Amino acid sequence: MRCFAFCVLLCVPVLAAAQQTVVIHNAVVETLGPAGRLEGATVILRDGKIAAVGKDVPVPDFARVIDAQGGTLMPGIVDPYFQVAITPASSDSGERTTVIRGRPFPFGGGFGGRTASAFTRIADNFYPYDPGLKPLPRVGICRANVVSSGVGQAAVIRCTPDQPETMLVQPDGPIYASVTNSTESLDQIRSRLQRGSRGSGPAPTGSATAPAPSAALNDPWKDVLEGKKPLLVEANTAAAVVHVVKFLQAYPDVKLVLFVAGDAVPETLPLLKERKVCVVLRPRFDFLPASRDRFSAPRMLHENGVEVVFSLTARPPRPPAITPPTQQQQQEEEQQTVPGVERDFPLFPVAMQVKTGLPRQIALEALTKKPAALLGCEKTHGSIEPGKAADLLLFTGDPLDPASRLRLTIIDGRITHAQ
Amino acid sequence: MRSDRPILGLAFLMMMASLLVAEENKDSQSAKPTSPPIAIVGGDVYTVSHGVIPRGTVLIQDGKIAAVGKDVAIPENALRIEAAGKCVTPGFVAISASNVGIRTGTGARGRTGEPAPPQGVTGRVVDAINPYDRNILFCLASGITTACVEVSGGGTGRFGRDALDLEELDETNVCPCCGMTYLPLEPITAPNPTERTPRRHAVLRMTFGELDRMLVKESPFYHLPAGAFAGAFNKHQWRETIKRAKEQVRDRNEGEDEGGFGGFGGGFGRRVPEEVVQLVEKKIPLRTDAASVEQIRTALALAKELGYAVILEGVHEAWLIPEELKEAQAQVILTPRSRRRPQLGKEDSTGSSIETAGILERTGVPFAVATLGNSVNLDGIPGRDLTSLMLEAAFAVRGGCSDDTALAAITINPARMLGLDKRIGSIEIGKDADLLILTGPPLDYHSHVDKALVGGKVYYDRVRENIYPDLPNRPKSTTQTKR
């Protein structure tokens, strides 16, 4: 009996390892690491991590082998600015009607239940059963930094909607804010940064001994002030960019990341260069200001030495329904796509950028390595190297070829989407 | 190829900027950091204050006018701008503008297809400035270098009615149904004494792309609609407001602690706006519209009684009582092409007149010219919006005033109304180098702005911008007189 138990103990790890080991061979591998581009290479995945990458890697026994003849393997896409619409869930936020002396009076729900200056912590509001998250693996997005409108603290998720409980991987993400050029909007970040910098000063006024109740809320802002966490600001126009950058000149330690529309780039380029801002934008072609001429903002930024990061997704068109889905809705969801991303050609806009002069390597890094670095997980994500997390995309051909399809999406060593 | 050009231009600009920076660094090592002077050479200089200097030179140093005249020594390192055959004038000052550099909901009446932005600026003006607003370039292209931009529109009161509704009731009216005249009637219920919301303005310089230089001043005047003084209740309330403001000034001068305005003393128990205090202290004038003789007289009488300076706009019937305006030392904003229909049977003593500008000039009432529409509107009826300011001033000439007065009406006179006549409005030594180089004489509809300088820097160049293009093969008109 004891002997048998010992045998079982011996066998279990072996079996488990055998189940988890996946070998992809015969693939072209865009490692985006020091190894560069490898042709006819083999990648071994074990325990959710990449165990080995190379041309002459011995294939272990008991492994699941995927023949990727003619296919290309690239690291999973990391989306640094995945917007979700968060509906308030507090008990007093919804509208309700009270009848007083026979006359109905509506109460609450005045401005959608949210004020502009409210601070939203995404991790507390994240709804992993959101049908809008389902198609993310299908378009190759393996990790996403979830933000919303207004101001708050983002959260990084891994896009495994089939395992909703384990999606939230980094609840304390960067601080995000979407601003326009108006006092109310700019004060969302200005007043908080000013408060944060006062609080960290040597002689705080008022309650010096007892920490204020809001001290916990101010913590992420302290990290922002010290440059530990980036500050993600969505600035909708060139004017908003100018106002944000000018204000942050007083805070040189703040690591500013701007999410902008491409048409705000030409006018603000000198400012962006001077500040060394990292710019997140959609791979699109925009109009030059006051003209009908199209241009590529990513290329312009890259050629002027500004770091570019791509976000494929667009703002969600409507808040997701949180009612239980009907069967018909479920069928629709299977057809549903990520807003802003073509279902079958997710990388087509990036391919267009490469076709019009953005270097291929820069474009691929802007999808994977750069956003991973932005979110502070460059040690584990963003490239195909031994020891890193096994977030991989296998395309039937070159990822930037419109004729190729996304065959497999592997997140943490597990096939999350297969076509 | 064409799409490359702006990028190339940008690259060129940046190269220039880096050169300038290098230049500055070189200079900063020496005793005094200065940028190279700019000399505008060979143009006819319309100084506004000292007549026209034919083929003169304007020298600019550090954004200010350093020298004007025929024989100005040009320093070696000066950047020369050739203006031979062209005219140099001060930059125009738009006294009524909206939606320039600041996006607000007001003034966008004629525009369609654009979602209505929120009404007015609710926070600080400087945060709402958009230095990349295209309208700034359109203003520069039509000669405006400084604009008094409406920041938030005022309410006309609780019922939203103008002064017209009340004042017109004093006149004999014709029944629209039977054509019989009926006797003047008192309104059955007088309007409640509601406090009118003043319109807020901010003076912006048209420095396209440079946020830091744009805002000149806020609240250059206290602006109320004529309805704020119509009727006994409103007059009473305005008197009370002024009384409280004077008390506040007195208390402040006596060094008393402010804030003791609770209770009955302050009427409503709250402080009057800072602008009203400045009005009482004669730091800023009151701006109001006054179309009819009645309204003009009401505004002037109140100004005299309560002791503040007044700017009247939309003065359609000013031609009837120019002497009274002169005696009250009122300043006037005029739109020569704006019309008011005379009353039936009173054609000689009511309504507007094309000759108002001439009459005001002869009487000696200073006036500024404003356009019919106060925002830039490129798809409305042409020649009415803010870009037609120079044309509107030419209509003042049509109404009998001299060219010099018409030019002053879009330069030094509005500058004085804004309290900026020491800085802008004419070409004088020490003033800001807000200058225009025009292809022909000002007020001529053939003339275009060739270059516009704000604070000694070229912000608009006709060759560079594609706004009013200089078409190369445009046929020369045979009827055009040579000047």
pLDDT tens by residue, A192-248: 888 876 654 443 344 344 444 444 555 788 888 888 899 999 998 899 999 999 999
Residue B40 CB: number of other CB atoms within 10 A? 26
How far is the C-alpha of B65 from the C-alpha of A251, rounded, in Å? 37
Chain A environment of B211 (Cβ under 8 Å): 239, 242-243, 246
Chain A environment of B134 (Cβ under 8 Å): 289-290
Residue B51 CB: number of other CB atoms within 10 A? 9
**Amino acid at the residue B366:** P
Check residue B30 and give its pLDDT: 46
How far is the C-alpha of B34 from the C-alpha of B365, rounded, in Å? 42
B2·A293 Cβ contact <8 A:
yes
Check residue B160 and give its pLDDT: 39
The Cβ-side half-sphere exposure at A371, using a 13 Å CA radius, reads 28
Predicted confidence (pLDDT) per residue in B51-110, tens digit: 999 999 999 999 999 999 999 999 999 999 999 999 999 999 999 998 899 875 433 333
A249 and A188 Cβ atoms separated by less than 8 Å? no
Chain B environment of A182 (Cβ under 8 Å): 121-123, 127-128
Confidence of residue B118 (pLDDT cuts 50, 70, 90): very low
Give A190→chain B minimum CA distance, Å. 11
Which residues lie closer than 8 Å to A408 by C-beta, 6 or more apart? A66, A392, A393, A394, A415, A417, A418, A419
How far is the C-alpha of A150 from the C-alpha of A116, rounded, in Å? 6
For the ranges A87-91, A168-172, A216-220, the lowest mean pLDDT is seen at A87-91
Q: Considering CB atoms only, which of B3, B127, B137 is closest to A243? A: B127
C-alpha distances in angstroms, B251 versus B32, B240, B248?
A: 46, 16, 5
Residues of chain B above pLDDT 90, percent: 55
How far is the C-alpha of A401 from the C-alpha of A414, rounded, in Å? 25
The pTM of the full predicted model, rounded to 2 decimals, is: 0.80
Helix residue ranges, H only, B103-230: 125-128, 134-141, 163-167
Check residue B262 and give its pLDDT: 43
Chain A environment of B122 (Cβ under 8 Å): 182-184
Predicted confidence (pLDDT) per residue in A312-343, tens digit: 988 776 555 556 666 766 666 556 777 778 88
SS3 assignment for chain A: CHHHHHHHHHHHHHHHHHHHCEEEEEEEEECCCCCCEEEEEEEEEECCEEEEEECCCCCCCCCEEEECCCCEEEECEEEEEEECCCCCCCCCCCCEEEEECCEEEEECCCCCCCCCCCEEEHHHHCCCCCHHHCCCHHHCEEEEEEECCCEEECEEEECCCCCHHHCEEECCCCEEEEECCCHHHHHHHHHHHHHHHHHCCCCCCCCCCCCCCCHHHHHHHHHHHCCCCCEEEEECCHHHHHHHHHHHCCCCCCCEEEEECHHHHHHHHHHHHHHCCEEEECCCEEECCCCCCEEEHHHHHHHCCCEEEECCCCCCCCCCCCCCCCHHHHHHHHHCCCCCCCCCCCCHHHHHHHHCCCCHHHHHHHHCHHHHHHCCCCCCCCCCCCCCECCEEEECCCCCCCCCCEEEEEECCEEEEEC
Q: Considering CB atoms only, which of A183, A242, A289 is closest to B124? A: A183
Identical fold, A11-76+383-418 and A78-374: no
Q: Is the pLDDT of residue A302 over 90?
A: yes
Averaged pLDDT for residues A288-300: 90
Q: Considering CB atoms only, which of B122, B129, B132 is closest to A267? A: B132
Predicted confidence (pLDDT) per residue in B328-360, tens digit: 999 999 999 998 999 888 888 899 999 999 999
Check residue B115 and give its pLDDT: 39
A270·B14 Cβ contact <8 A:
yes
Averaged pLDDT for residues B449-456: 95
Instruction: Identify the CATH homologous superfamily for domain A78-374.
Output: Metal-dependent hydrolases (3.20.20.140)
Per CB distance under 8 Å, which residues of B are interface residues toward A? 2-3, 6-7, 10, 14, 17, 121-124, 127-134, 137, 209, 211-212, 466
C-alpha distances in angstroms, A419 versus A198, A211, A394, B76?
A: 54, 54, 10, 74
How far is the C-alpha of A192 from the C-alpha of A233, rounded, in Å? 14
ipTM: 0.76
Check residue A86 and give its pLDDT: 74
Averaged pLDDT for residues B213-221: 93
How far is the C-alpha of A11 from the C-alpha of A8, rounded, in Å? 5
A293·B3 Cβ contact <8 A:
yes
Q: A176: which strand partners?
A: A152, A232
Q: Is B185 helix (H, G, I), strand (E, B) or coil?
A: coil
Chain B environment of A295 (Cβ under 8 Å): 3, 7
Q: Is the pLDDT of residue B429 over 70?
A: yes
Averaged pLDDT for residues A180-190: 86
Predicted confidence (pLDDT) per residue in A342-355, tens digit: 888 889 999 999 99
Check residue B360 and give its pLDDT: 96
Predicted confidence (pLDDT) per residue in A384-395, tens digit: 999 999 999 999
For helices B293-306 and B231-253, give the axis angle rounded to 10 degrees.
Answer: 30
Check residue B260 and give its pLDDT: 47
Confidence of residue B49 (pLDDT cuts 50, 70, 90): very high
Q: Considering CB atoms only, which of A181, A184, A267 is closest to B209? A: A267
Q: Is the pLDDT of residue A24 over 90?
A: yes
Q: Considering CB atoms only, which of A186, A187, A266 is closest to B6? A: A266
User: Phi and psi dihedrals of B45, rounded to 5?
Assistant: -95, 115
Chain B environment of A357 (Cβ under 8 Å): none
The H or E element spanning position B144 is strand B144-152
Residue A368 has which token pair?
């994977």
User: Phi and psi dihedrals of A144, rounded to 5?
Assistant: -145, 140
B333 and B368 Cβ atoms separated by less than 8 Å? yes
User: Cα angle at A157 between A153 and A162, to 5 degrees?
Assistant: 145
**Amino acid at the residue A373:** A
For the ranges B80-84, B271-275, B310-314, the lowest mean pLDDT is seen at B271-275
- Nearest chain A residue to B10, by CA: A266
C-alpha distances in angstroms, B302 versus A75, A325, B224, B288, B308?
A: 77, 69, 13, 12, 9
Instruction: Identify the CATH homologous superfamily for domain A11-76+383-418.
Output: Urease, subunit C, domain 1 (2.30.40.10)
User: Cα angle at A55 between A54 and A56, to 5 degrees?
Assistant: 100
Per-domain residue ranges of chain A? 11-76+383-418, 78-374
In chain B the first and final C-alpha atoms are separated, in Å, by 40
Give B60→chain A minimum CA distance, Å. 27
Check residue B195 and give its pLDDT: 61
User: Phi and psi dihedrals of B271, rounded to 5?
Assistant: -80, 150
For the ranges A75-84, B375-384, B421-430, the lowest mean pLDDT is seen at B375-384
